[in-house]
Amino acid sequence: MADDNVEVKNQGGSGKGLMIVLIALIFVLIIAVAGGFYFLYNHTSNLSNNQNQAPVEQTTSSPAGEAGSFKADINELVLNLTDSRGKEKLMKLSFSIKSTEPTIAAIVEEYKAEIIDVVISQISARSSEELLTVGGKNLLKDELVNDINGVLNNVPAEKKFGKDSVKTVLFTTFVIK
C-alpha cells in the first residue's frame, strides 16, 4: 500500500509540470501574437502618415513633338482601397499633370490640397479590381483631368491661368497591394 501512494504522488507531480509548461506556452503565444499585431499596426500607420506628404516637382520640358507642354508631379500618395469582397488594400500613386500653362507647377503647389482631395474622392469611388484594368485606369485618368481642370478653373483671374489647361494625367507609380 505504501508503494501505491508513492506512485500516485509521482503522477500528480508530472501533471503540475505539464500544466506549467502549457501555461508558459500559452503565455509565449499571446506575447507573439500581440507583438505581431503591434508591428503590423505600426507599419500600416506609417504608410497612412505618408499619405499627406505628397511633394510636387516641377518639370518644364518641351519634347520636340509637344511644343508648349509643361508638367507638375505629385508623388507618393498612399490611399486606402477596398475590393469587391470588402477587403481593404493600400495603393501607392504618383502622377504627372501635363498642361499648356508654364505656371502649372506653382499653381499645383498652391492648390495641392484640393487636387489631392479630388484624387482621393475619385479613387475611393472605385474598387481595386476596376483600377487594375486598363479601361479602369483610362477612365480614372479622364475623370482626373476633368476634376483637376474643375479645381484649377477656379483660380483667380489675376494669376492669369487659362481655363481647361490640363491636357492629361500620366501615372508614374500605380501599385495596389
- Name which of 18-32, 54-68, 97-111, 126-140 the model is least confident about: 54-68
Going by pLDDT thresholds of 50, 70 and 90, the confidence category of residue 62 is very low
Is the pTM for the entire model greater than 0.75?
no
Mean pLDDT score across all residues of the chain: 78
Are the CB atoms for 151 and 118 separated by under 8 Å? Answer: yes
| Rounded mean pLDDT, 117-140 | 90
Tens of pLDDT along 144-172? 999 988 888 887 777 777 787 889 999 99
Tens of pLDDT along 76-87? 889 888 888 888
What whole-number percentage of the chain has pLDDT above 90?
19
| Rounded mean pLDDT, 22-48 | 76
The hierarchical CATH code for the domain 70-176 is 3.30.479
pLDDT at 58 > cutoff 70:
no
C-alpha cell at 65: 513633338
| Rounded mean pLDDT, 140-145 | 92
**Closest to 51 in 3D by CA, of 34, 29, 74:** 74
Q: What is the pLDDT of residue 164?
A: 79
Spell out the alpha helix ranges (H) of the chain: 2-49, 104-110, 112-124, 128-131, 134-152
Map out the domains of the chain as residue ranges: 70-176
pLDDT at 26 > cutoff 60:
yes
Are the CB atoms for 90 and 78 separated by under 8 Å? Answer: yes
Going by pLDDT thresholds of 50, 70 and 90, the confidence category of residue 92 is very high
- Name which of 1-10, 29-38, 92-101, 147-156 the model is least confident about: 1-10
Q: What is the pLDDT of residue 41?
A: 67
C-alpha cell at 149: 481642370
